[in-house]
Amino acid sequence: MPSESREFDIVLLGATGFTGGLIADYLATNATSAVSIALAGRNPAKLEAVRARSGADLDVVTVDATDDAALRDLTSRCRVLITTVGPYLVHGDPVVAACADTGTDYLDLTGEPEFADLTYLKHHARAEATGARLIHACGFDSVPHDLGAQFTVDQLPEGVPLTVRGYVRLQGTFSGGTVASALEVMSRMRQGRATHDIRTQVEPQPDGRAVSIATGRVGRDASTGWWVIPMPTIDPLIVAQSARQLPRYGPDFTYSHFLATEGPLAAAATLGGIGTLAAVAQVAPARRALARLRPSGSGPTPAQRDKAWFTVRFVGEGGGTSVVTEVAGGDPGYTETSAMISEAALCLAVDDLPVTAGQVTTASALGPALRTRLLAAGISFTLVD
């Protein structure tokens, strides 16, 4: 069935999870009645509870993410599918496959680079053929970084080599699904690197243009004065993918991505914490014990989320010009993440967008239209200097 005449504009799969519940509430409050929305998941009683709490006229569909036929039926009934069923390396592939096959736009919250590389290798060509837009990392990973880098590039001259550095500062805590997904990534670093190498060999590079990620080093950063740690998360990979897909990033684009800390002691403590987590993730029983401390469905309380915040400062240089920009908002992981992915879904369902298909990014597929929506939702994009 052509995508325009499908039963639902947006389906939210994983509506019964911690983040899924927040997304359901956001869509119930912010989507107009012209947008038809369904909540999907494997547990009808939990789905009904989410629908009742939302107070909105939402449909409910029962589907298990391990059932390929049921997933194809679901994705052929909707134009845009959001999934929060993670860890994505464990549960995600059949959902992407169903969207690619049925020409359905797909959005997720993955921060798992190996998952994005695997879906590129397995489903990008099929999605290009059916017209499906497959967009990973539509939450705090990686919307502020991806759209912030694009906003920074927009302030710089065209047609010259550009360098952009992103510096993240934040305060917040994690949900059960985030902890489980982070441990999954850390337990598979070697496989993740191998998959990325295969992708790098087969993915076409843009004609006559170069895009690279400069890792940087731990220490005091000369341009900001902050103590920084290079962050090899999914964020720089997404920014680089946008740069490959958008000629506006110029003939030679380089991106670096850092966590900014309060000083040398905080930097050392953060590095120690990451190292400990990575070591624990290598041992299956220890990994399971750690995951049990934050079970599926749990996450920060409203009071904790009210105190949480983020800023991402960008320093962009090129063609003799230098700019500083900043993206800022409230609780990065959950309150703002649910706004980001909901607005991305509404953007796909409602807005006039450039024609794209296959594995694309928030910047390359949604760009300024999503930035406008996020500004209206209270996330700021500022030219600082």
Q: Would you give the binding string for ligand NAP spanning residues 87-116, x where CB under 6 A is met?
A: xx--x-----------------x-x-----
CB contact at 8 A, 191 and 185? no
Write down how long the chain is: 385
**172: contact with ligand NAP by CB under 6 A:** no
Distance of closest approach, residue 145 Cβ to ligand NAP, in angstroms:
11
Q: Considering only 73-81, 154-162, 173-181, 262-270, which stretch makes contact with ligand NAP by CB under 6 A?
A: 173-181
Task: State in Å, rounded, how far the first CA of the chain is from the last one.
Answer: 50
22 vs 342: CA distance, rounded Å: 10
Short-list 79, 258, 84, 264, CA closest to 178: 84
**Of 84 and 325, which has the nearer Cβ to ligand NAP?**
84
Contact residue for ligand NAP among 25, 117, 141, 343 (CB under 6 A): 141
| Residue among 151, 159, 142, 109 at smallest CA distance from 362 | 142
Separation between Cα atoms, residue 7 and residue 240, nearest integer Å: 36
Helix (H, G, I), strand (E, B) or coil at 315: strand
Using rule CB under 6 A, residue 16 touches ligand NAP: yes
Q: Is 12 in the site for ligand NAP (CB under 6 A)?
A: no
Q: What token pair was written down for 93? A: 């592939």
85 belongs to the binding site for ligand NAP (CB under 6 A) = yes
- Per-residue x/- mask for ligand NAP, residues 180 to 219, rule CB under 6 A? -x--------------------------------------
Cα radius of gyration rounded to whole Å, the chain: 20
Give the C-alpha separation, 324 to 252, whole Å. 19
Residue from 65, 213, 231, 308 touching ligand NAP (CB under 6 A): that is 65
What is the smallest separation between the CB atom of 369 and ligand NAP, expressed in angstroms? 20
Q: Residues interacting with ligand NAP, by CB under 6 A?
A: 14, 16-20, 41-43, 46, 64-66, 84-88, 91, 109, 111, 139-141, 175-178, 181, 296-297, 299, 333, 337
